[in-house]
Amino acid sequence: MSMTGSQVFDWLVSLANFGIMFVLFRLVVIIPMQEAVKLREQRVALRLKEIDQIAKDAETTKADFQEKFGKVDEMIAEVKATSERSLAQAKQNLEERAVAEERYIREKAEAEAKSLKREAEAKVRSKLAGGAVARAESLLRDALDSNAQNKILSAAIKEIGELHAS
């Protein structure tokens, strides 16, 4: 197989056409595609950096919130404990006050009852003594002469006066 001159020429022209087409294809398609891919790669890398930064910020914020919520939980527990202690103290104070007030009212009522009892006893004694004296006088007047009446009456009045004074 030997090649003729025209075949060599055709082969060289085909080779030159292929080279020109390769260079044109490279200039028109491959290089712009590579630049587009590089640009896209840069955008993706930039977006990944932004996402990474956002993730770091989110983690930092999450840690801050967890720390603050941890403190809030502690504060809530502390406030609850303080409230429970205050409530228990207030309850105890109210109970003590109620017991003291009950004791005071009972003592006052007992003192008033004793006073009323003494007054009633004194009134009853006074009425009984007055009635007894009047009845004795009446009986003595009817039964005795005036001298005997005066002696008996004086003795009875004296005795009733002593009873009444006690």
Buried b (16+ CB within 10 A) or exposed e, 6-24: eeeeeeeeeeeeeeeeeee
Q: Which residues contact 153 (CB under 8 A, 6 or more apart)?
A: 136, 137, 140
Residue by residue, pLDDT tens for the chain (166 residues) are 577 888 889 999 999 999 999 999 999 999 999 999 999 999 999 999 999 999 999 999 988 888 877 777 788 888 888 889 988 898 899 889 988 888 998 999 888 889 888 888 888 877 777 777 777 777 766 666 667 767 777 887 888 777 776 6
Q: Supply angle C-alpha 51, 53, 57, rounded to 5.
A: 115
Question: Are the beta carbons of 153 and 137 closer than 8 angstroms?
Answer: yes
